[in-house]
């Protein structure tokens, strides 16, 4: 059996619709599979979901590159990028390159648990404020070029590589029914609800059926 590989952030990971999340525990559905599992099952492929909550585009690309030797002909790869403000940095306390997820930085890392010295924190945040935030569109284009190059290479190897943009949820909040909407905002969560997972499943399966390798094309 071939594999179907998923690379992305929390929208691919399944935030909110996995055991332990309030929405999963209190708002049951007849189908509690996240969209990646539904797509894998419908495609009769083995699911390999290597996404990560709060993941940045450079880390998503890095994870794909580290798994290139495991991806075989006739496998399917489905990859999304993420917000350009999410990047990478060296956690000086752990001596390790890690995600810097600026939109949830305090709750995900805690600044004091990431940087050993105050000057490190200041210089890194200044870099994000002055070199990333004003130029998000340029960074987005930069990362997309890398992804499309990887896509071309894998397509040439006989791997079916599908790319969908984070803009599908970040810019078109009306595209999917979120957990917030499904719970009448009793739970504040912009991730896919059960209905949102059904919507995403339909979009991806349609792309696979029609070999639409740029999934977000004509959707944005």
- Report the CATH number at residue 197: 3.40.50
Q: pLDDT exceeding 70 applies to what percent of the chain? A: 93
Using a 10 angstrom Cβ sphere, with 0-12 exposed, 13-18 middle and 19 or more buried, the burial of residue 92 is middle
- Domain total of the chain: 1
Model pLDDT, residue 4: 98
Q: Is residue 56 part of a domain?
A: yes
And the tokens for 59?
């880390």
Q: Is residue 115 part of a domain?
A: no
The model scores a pTM over 0.85 = yes
Q: Is residue 190 part of a domain?
A: yes
Q: How far apart are alpha carbons 79 and 161 in whole angstroms?
A: 8
Q: Is residue 34 part of a domain?
A: yes
Would you place residue 173 in the very low, low, confident or very high pLDDT band (cuts 50, 70, 90)? low
Q: How far apart are alpha carbons 92 and 172 in whole angstroms?
A: 37
Domain extent for 19: 3-83+143-209
In this predicted structure, the answer to whether residue 15 has a pLDDT above a threshold of 80 is yes
The chain-wide mean pLDDT, for the chain, equals 91
Of residues 18, 42, 1, 22, the one with CA closest to residue 200: 42
Residues 32-89 have pLDDT tens digits of 999 999 999 999 999 999 999 989 999 999 999 999 999 999 999 999 999 998 888 8
Q: Is residue 175 part of a domain?
A: yes
Q: Is residue 38 part of a domain?
A: yes
Model pLDDT, residue 107: 47
Q: Is residue 95 part of a domain?
A: no
Cβ neighbours of residue 215 closer than 8 Å, sequence gap 6 or more:
78, 162, 163, 164, 165, 168, 203, 204, 207
Q: How far apart are alpha carbons 4 and 41 in whole angstroms?
A: 10
CB 17 within 8 A of CB 34: yes
């Amino acid at each position: 059996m071939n594999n179907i590989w998923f690379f992305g952030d929390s929208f691919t990971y399944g935030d909110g619709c996995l055991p332990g999340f309030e929405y999963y525990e209190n708002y049951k559905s007849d189908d509690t599979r996240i969209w990646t599992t539904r797509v894998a099952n419908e495609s009769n492929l083995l699911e390999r979901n290597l996404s990560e909550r709060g993941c940045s585009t450079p880390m998503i690309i890095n994870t794909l590159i580290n798994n290139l030797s495991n991806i075989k002909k006739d496998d399917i790869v489905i990859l999304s990028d993420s917000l350009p403000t999410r990047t990478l940095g060296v956690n000086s306390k752990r001596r390790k390159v890690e995600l810097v997820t600026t939109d949830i930085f305090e709750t995900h890392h805690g600044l004091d648990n990431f940087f050993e010295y105050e000057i490190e924190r200041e210089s890194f945040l200044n870099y994000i404020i002055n070199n990333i935030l004003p130029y998000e569109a340029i960074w987005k284009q930069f990362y997309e070029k890398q992804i499309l190059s990887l896509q071309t290479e894998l397509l040439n190897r006989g791997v079916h590589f599908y790319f969908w943009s984070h803009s599908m949820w970040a810019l078109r909040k009306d595209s999917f029914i979120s957990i917030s909407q499904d719970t009448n905002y009793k739970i504040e969560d912009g991730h896919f609800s059960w209905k949102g997972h059904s919507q995403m499943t339909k979009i991806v399966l349609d792309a696979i059926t029609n070999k639409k390798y740029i999934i977000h094309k004509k959707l944005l």
